[in-house]
Structure 1
Amino acid sequence: MEENARPGPQGRRGLGVVTGSVMLLGAVLGPGALTLPTLAADAAGPASLLAWALLLLAGVPVAATFAALGGTYPDGGGVAHFAALAFDGRIAAAASWWFLAAVPLGVTAAGLMGGHYVAAALGAGPGFATGVGLGLLAASFALNAVGLHATGRVQVLTAGVLVTLLVVTVAVSLGDVRPESFTPFAPHGWSGVGVAATVLFFAFAGWEAATHLSADFADPGRGLRLATALALAVVTVLYLGLSVVTLGVLGPTAGHDPAPLLTLLQRAFGTAGTVPATAAALVLTFGAINAYLAGGARLGAALGRDRALPRWLVGRTRPGREPRRSLAFLAACCLVVTAPVLGGVLSLDGLVRATSALLAAVTLVGTLAGVRLLRGRQRGTAAVASAFLVVVLVFCGALLALPAAVGVVAVLHSRGSSRGKDTPVSSSETAHRRR
């Protein structure tokens, strides 16, 4: 058999390079690619190309750091596991809270992205787009409540759909790129590049998922590094191609088109491009929402088990049972988020920026843990990745108050809970100490 299905260290069959790279693509590629080119173009114009390029370049040390951490300390706990090893349970709790807080913001943003595509295809207005997005959220909550959450195979399928869609879009649109579309290059000044980078981080928050898969690789060290490198190469080609054709073909309207991929496909194939683009957007959006809700609900229940969150609020993990109380908590958070969206106070752009700020904070904790845990060249790579993430967080501006507030509450709650003698540290930290 090929390397894609070799036996693991204990004789079990583990992930190989091919399957692992596809799983990573499923984590990094998502519905953000459907709308983010517009948000970036609105922030920086053609200069958003620099934001794409900088994030892709900076993604190399970030991805390499998580691959090194996963290969050296393979565990399904991800960033929280590394934070517990490098620092303490309070930092791990803060990272977990940041990710959990990003879930209702991120899934609401994803739902709106899918809604915009359906509305654009049908010629409907923003109210219809919001309704479709909320409908996708409601359907995903219902499925998760009965245990029919998205599996890894569905994630792989949706990643394959998005890769195909992006390849076709870029290929058929390259011939229509016009040089004059890139002038003026920086209509909003060079600071717009930094603003665009904070928006685009939504599309690059996913490399930490490699650490969650690390324990499933047949060869965590070599296999995870190769899978990450392959996924990074594919992401680089697809995102750069997408940004070039979006700006080069749509020109000044690129920053105002809610469904750029749909527009590009319609220009190339006429109305025949509407159905596949819309169907792909719905599948990708629903798959991403389902996966995030399934993971977020289980994280919330795990935090309740470890008393990092109040058990009355999120319950606790129990074998064979769905974390419905944690899911209900996330549903309540989504209702809180959608209220200002329905009132016109919070936009899709604001949701994406807030989610990016939280996920950037999570990723920074992971790379700082790499500085503490790794050695030699790998430590230097982690330091470079950390410096980049600090820059991203600086450009988040006032939105830094969000991870700051969530982190303070998490640390204060962790300190209060740690006074009880029966309060365990995170399960991943406990397992490490037992070894």
Structure 2
Amino acid sequence: MSQLKQEITLISGIGQLSTTLMGTGLFMIPAIAAGIAAQLSLWAWLFLFIAICPIALTFAQLGKRYPNAGGTAFFVRKAFNPRMERAVAWLFVSVIPVGVPAAIALAASFLVQLMPSGLDNPLLCQVITIALLMIVNLAGAKSSGRLQTLIALAIFALIGAFLWQGDISARDLAMPPLNSDSIWPIGAALAVMFWCFVGIEAFAHMGEEFKNPRRDFPIAIVVGCFVAGLTYWFCSAVILKFGAYGNATFDSGAIPWLSEKLFGSRASLVISLLGFSACFASVNLYTQSLARMIWSQAREYRPSGAMAKLSQRGVPANATYVIGATLLISCAVAQLSSLDLEFFLKLANSIFVLVYLLAMLAATKLLRGIQRFLALIALALCVGVFVCLGWSMLYALTIFIVLLVPWQTLFTKRGKHSNSQQPQPSSNFENRSTS
């Protein structure tokens, strides 16, 4: 078996993308954005959604025309050359040790609250989370899609319950007036809120597994982004009404605090379960996409190797095992050495934004007409965000440049040059020795 199974439907695709975009962000970002911009954060969410539309539509068109497990790397190859493809592929894979463990740690923080005494160890909960990721990934995209659709429905139900129990009215949803003083707080909030829509590039790796990629993949991206954006906006309205923002406690605990306020302490276990599920869903898609990236590179360049093999369920099992082992090592190192997870998240974010930027750059060559115009707008937006990353931008650029250098060719040339410099026996010596 050399092809992934085409078993992702439109509904499961929307469920996978929307849960990935909400995931960890829903439990932190609305409160952080409200602390920065207060009521103006409602405008910031609207502006963010307008800004993300060109990026989402461009990814939708790329995935429609080139459904491939290689995702952005494959788009770059079609637009440029195989060397850039490999550099982008391994740039994306390089996020495993710095970005995914931080998200797993956040998911495990919810799982700790569900575990009985004696098993509520953070590292143990991270190991359990990784084991569950492996089980879900090895079950196939169809099973994973169903699980994430259920998680998405649970998140929507929670926000709906907030709106109902919190008695949110049209007055609470009213947009505040804008003036010249609004620019700075909205801009500062946008810099934080952009990460809520990091995940589209990972979803691009799933295009090959859609039953009808040309029809369903672009719809899944557009609808998934809209659903996530609307959920964030309504969640922000609830947080603003009840003042669940303004300090470090609310930044990471606004949703549990609101739940206890509106439903009482009996809802704490439900919120912990939902928080774990949301974070798990976000990490799950990244684990899937990373495995497919490794498999697609092996299929292209080492088709007879172990990484190019698929299981009976049509899953790149060996690539999934490699990612699982890497995650175990990374989480253990981070937990035992008390490394700053926020620091690693910044490094991971720089990689994600650079991948977005390269995808939009490829789109400007692959698309035509109005679609190319949207790609140019999306490219400008990605460049702006990338510059705003500051020092972490240098991390992603350094990795990409190192990966882009043809090291194998250089070493081959150097080896040939060294051989050519070795002294060769002269013909006179050969003649004397012969005589």
Where on the TM-score scale, by shorter chain, does this alignment land: which range? 0.7 to 0.9
AA matched with 2:200: W
- Once the 2 structures are TM-superposed, how far is the Cα of residue 55 of structure 1 from its aligned partner? 2.0
> With structure 2 as the length reference, what TM-score do the two structures score?
0.75
Question: What is the aligned counterpart of 2:310 among 297, 314, 319?
Answer: 319
- Residue pair 2:19, 2:281 contacting (<8 A) in 1 also: no
Within 5 A, what are the aligned runs for 1:20-419? 20-117=13-110, 131-132=121-122, 134-143=123-132, 149=138, 151-173=144-166, 175=168, 191=184, 193-250=186-243, 252-253=245-246, 256-257=249-250, 258-300=252-294, 303=297, 316-320=307-311, 321-323=317-319, 324-338=321-335, 342=338, 346-348=340-342, 350-412=343-405, 415-417=406-408
- Residue pair 1:82, 1:366 contacting (<8 A) in 2 also: yes
CA 1:351–1:241 in structure 2 vs 1: closer, same or farther (change >3 Å)?
Answer: farther
AA matched with 2:310: P
- Once the 2 structures are TM-superposed, how far is the Cα of residue 29 of structure 1 from its aligned partner? 2.9
- Once the 2 structures are TM-superposed, how far is the Cα of residue 86 of structure 1 from its aligned partner? 0.8
- Once the 2 structures are TM-superposed, how far is the Cα of residue 380 of structure 1 from its aligned partner? 0.6
Secondary structure of the residue that 1:322 maps to in structure 2? Answer: helix
Q: Distance in 2 between matches of 1:385 and 1:57?
A: 11
Q: Distance in 2 between matches of 1:325 and 1:14?
A: 24
AA matched with 2:219: L
Q: Distance in 1 between matches of 2:159 and 2:98?
A: 25
- Once the 2 structures are TM-superposed, how far is the Cα of residue 190 of structure 1 from its aligned partner? 5.4
CA 1:302–1:339 in structure 2 vs 1: closer, same or farther (change >3 Å)?
Answer: farther
Q: Distance in 2 between matches of 1:297 and 1:363?
A: 19
Report Cα offsets for 1:284-334 as digits up to 9, x if no partner: 2334334433443453465567679xx9xxx73333353334433343344
- Once the 2 structures are TM-superposed, how far is the Cα of residue 167 of structure 1 from its aligned partner? 2.8
- Once the 2 structures are TM-superposed, how far is the Cα of residue 89 of structure 1 from its aligned partner? 2.5
AA matched with 2:196: A
- Once the 2 structures are TM-superposed, how far is the Cα of residue 259 of structure 1 from its aligned partner? 1.5
What is aligned with 1:3?
none
AA matched with 2:128: A
CA 1:15–1:272 in structure 2 vs 1: closer, same or farther (change >3 Å)?
Answer: same
AA matched with 1:135: L
Identity within the alignment, %: 25
Secondary structure of the residue that 2:96 maps to in structure 1? Answer: helix
Q: Where do 5+ consecutive residues of structure 2 fail to align? A: 312-316, 413-435
Q: Distance in 2 between matches of 1:155 and 1:231?
A: 12
What is the aligned length?
391
Report Cα offsets for 1:130-177 as digits up to 9, x if no partner: x53x43431233456678646232222222222322332344335399
- Residue pair 1:176, 1:249 contacting (<8 A) in 2 also: no
Secondary structure of the residue that 1:283 maps to in structure 2? Answer: helix
- Residue pair 1:194, 1:395 contacting (<8 A) in 2 also: no
- Once the 2 structures are TM-superposed, how far is the Cα of residue 277 of structure 1 from its aligned partner? 0.8
Structure of higher CA gyration radius: 2
- Once the 2 structures are TM-superposed, how far is the Cα of residue 30 of structure 1 from its aligned partner? 1.5
- Residue pair 2:244, 2:257 contacting (<8 A) in 1 also: no
- Once the 2 structures are TM-superposed, how far is the Cα of residue 262 of structure 1 from its aligned partner? 1.1
RMSD: 3.9
- Once the 2 structures are TM-superposed, how far is the Cα of residue 66 of structure 1 from its aligned partner? 0.9
- Once the 2 structures are TM-superposed, how far is the Cα of residue 41 of structure 1 from its aligned partner? 3.9
CA 1:41–1:28 in structure 2 vs 1: closer, same or farther (change >3 Å)?
Answer: same
- Once the 2 structures are TM-superposed, how far is the Cα of residue 226 of structure 1 from its aligned partner? 3.1
Q: Distance in 1 between matches of 2:154 and 2:392?
A: 33
Q: Distance in 2 between matches of 1:121 and 1:163?
A: 22
Secondary structure of the residue that 1:253 maps to in structure 2? Answer: coil
- Once the 2 structures are TM-superposed, how far is the Cα of residue 266 of structure 1 from its aligned partner? 1.2
Secondary structure of the residue that 1:365 maps to in structure 2? Answer: helix
CA 1:268–1:67 in structure 2 vs 1: closer, same or farther (change >3 Å)?
Answer: same
Q: Distance in 2 between matches of 1:316 and 1:70?
A: 24
CA 1:96–1:167 in structure 2 vs 1: closer, same or farther (change >3 Å)?
Answer: farther
Q: Distance in 2 between matches of 1:407 and 1:298?
A: 20
> With structure 1 as the length reference, what TM-score do the two structures score?
0.75
Q: Distance in 2 between matches of 1:164 and 1:307?
A: 45
Q: Where do 5+ consecutive residues of structure 1 fail to align? A: 1-11, 422-435
Q: Distance in 2 between matches of 1:175 and 1:339?
A: 44
Which stretch of structure 1 is more off in the superposition, 102-111 or 145-154?
A: 145-154
AA matched with 2:282: A
AA matched with 1:285: C
- Residue pair 1:117, 1:259 contacting (<8 A) in 2 also: no
What is aligned with 1:428?
none
AA matched with 1:253: G
- Residue pair 2:360, 2:375 contacting (<8 A) in 1 also: yes
CA 1:59–1:170 in structure 2 vs 1: closer, same or farther (change >3 Å)?
Answer: farther
